[in-house]
Amino acid sequence: MPTQPLVRIGARGSKLSRAQSGQVQRRIAAALGVPPEEAEVACPLVIISTTGDRVQDRRLQEIGGKGLFTKEIEEALLDGRIDCAVHSMKDMPAQLPAGLCIAASPEREDPRDAFLSHSAERLEELAPRARLGTASLRRQAQSLHHRPDLDIELLRGNVDTRLAKLDSGQVDAILLAHAGLKRLGLGHLSRSLIDPVERPPAPGQGALAIETREDDCNLAWVRALRHEPTMIAVTAERGALTALEASCKTAVGAHAWLEGGVLKLVVEALTSDGRERFRHTGETEIAQLADPAASARDLGLSLGLAVRDAAGDALGT
């Protein structure tokens, strides 16, 4: 048994974050040749409280953006208090602090949004003026685009908190990432799943981001965590995010998938009230390419810029 930690893993304290980080912890231990029963000693989880977790009464856009789920953890990484961080990829800003990188992403879980309700199977079946709980500007805008009559209720907090508000009748329906529900063993609660092409999820949804210092980006245990198809798809989606994140109040969805050697991508942005939606789709051959990730990023950037140009001044309103 190692006398000192080999890899210290930074993570948030939520039940979901602990579940996700525990999966990665076991993967890292295996890559280092550490027996499962010694994983906690060799690769301890270092729980770090983030501003995004502490401030629950406002939308992230109002208090600084989704980087508030990563800021304190990234500071610990830069300070050398941890050796890697495990994030939900959808929480990662387009730009990372200098000296850090997204070094790996394991195989992606289901990227779709899940619809949960006790009164309807699908969002389209909700009663007029039903209350939909969400803190996501994207989910709000996409839902209002299809159902402009809905009342949107701000709903932040962990998964248990959101489920409790649904069960107590404070809202009639909620939207959550199906991946998170599955990782918590709650996938059966989803009444239906949202078509990811019709309503693209957040860039990177369903994937995990393993963040390290740039100097550690290609260590052997890091490379062992990489699932190349996931990383290619996520790179395309984050390329679109990079092109569109100039407006922090823009509702952005992106979904990439591989069909054979072809990478396909749909990108959309909406006004917050859902009245205007701007979409572009594209694809690129990546089979046999020396650097498929670069081609994926270029596709994402080009579609994101096309959406931004089509929207003009409409986004962010």
Is 78 within 8 Å of 69 (Cβ atoms)? no
Is 156 within 8 Å of 57 (Cβ atoms)? yes
Q: Is residue 68 part of a domain?
A: no
Mean pLDDT of 145-168: 93
Q: Is residue 15 part of a domain?
A: no
Give catalytic status of residue 160 as yes or no.
no
Residue 87 to residue 64: CA distance in whole angstroms: 18
Please give the pLDDT value at position 288. Answer: 86
Please give the pLDDT value at position 64. Answer: 47
Q: What does the buried/exposed string (b/e) look like for 130-144 if buried means 16 or more CB atoms within 10 Å of the residue's CB?
A: bbbbbbbbbbbbbbb
Is 293 within 8 Å of 256 (Cβ atoms)? no
Q: Is residue 123 part of a domain?
A: yes
Please give the pLDDT value at position 248. Answer: 47
Q: Give one DSSP letter per residue of the chain, joined into a string.
A: --SS-S--EEE-SSHHHHHHHHHHHHHHHHHTT--GGGHHHHS-EEE---HHHH--SS-HHHHT-GGGGTHHHHHHHHHTS-SEEEEEGGG--SSPPTTEEEEE--------EEEEESS-SSGGGSPTT-EEE---HHHHHHHHHH-TTPEEE---S-HHHHHHHHHTTS-SEEEEEHHHHHHTT-GGG-SEE--TTTS---TTTT-EEEEEEGGGTT-HHHHTT--HHHHHHHHHHHHHHHHHTTSTT-EEEEEEEEETTEEEEEEEEE-TTSS-EEEEEEEEE-TT-S-HHHHHHHHHHHHHHHHHHHHTT-TT-
Please give the pLDDT value at position 4. Answer: 73
Q: Is residue 224 part of a domain?
A: no
Q: Is residue 146 part of a domain?
A: yes
Please give the pLDDT value at position 63. Answer: 46
* Annotated catalytic residue, options 91, 110, 113, 172: 91
> For the domain that residue 181 is a member of, what is the CATH number?
3.40.190.10
- Express as a percent the part of the chain with pLDDT over 90: 82
Q: Judge whether residue 55 has pLDDT over 80.
A: no
Q: Is residue 52 part of a domain?
A: no
For 113-156, write each residue's pLDDT tens digit.
999 999 999 999 999 999 999 989 999 999 999 999 999 999 87
Q: Is residue 246 part of a domain?
A: no
Q: Judge whether residue 68 has pLDDT over 80.
A: no
Q: Provide the residue type at 212 as one letter.
A: T
Q: Judge whether residue 60 has pLDDT over 70.
A: no
For 300-315, write each residue's pLDDT tens digit.
999 999 999 999 888 8
Please give the pLDDT value at position 247. Answer: 47
Q: Judge whether residue 50 has pLDDT over 80.
A: no
Q: Is residue 181 part of a domain?
A: yes
For 246-287, write each residue's pLDDT tens digit.
544 679 999 999 999 999 999 999 999 999 999 999 999 998
What is the pLDDT of the chain when averaged over all its residues? 91
Q: Judge whether residue 57 has pLDDT over 60.
A: no
Mean pLDDT of 162-188: 96
Is 173 within 8 Å of 152 (Cβ atoms)? no
As for how many domains the chain has, the answer is 1
Domain that residue 186 falls in? 113-193
Degrees to nearest 5, angle at CA 316 with 265 and 306: 35
Q: Which residue has the higher pLDDT, 4 or 186?
A: 186
For 181-236, write each residue's pLDDT tens digit.
999 999 999 999 999 999 999 999 999 999 999 999 999 999 999 999 999 999 99
CA proximity to 235, closest of 212, 258, 213: 258
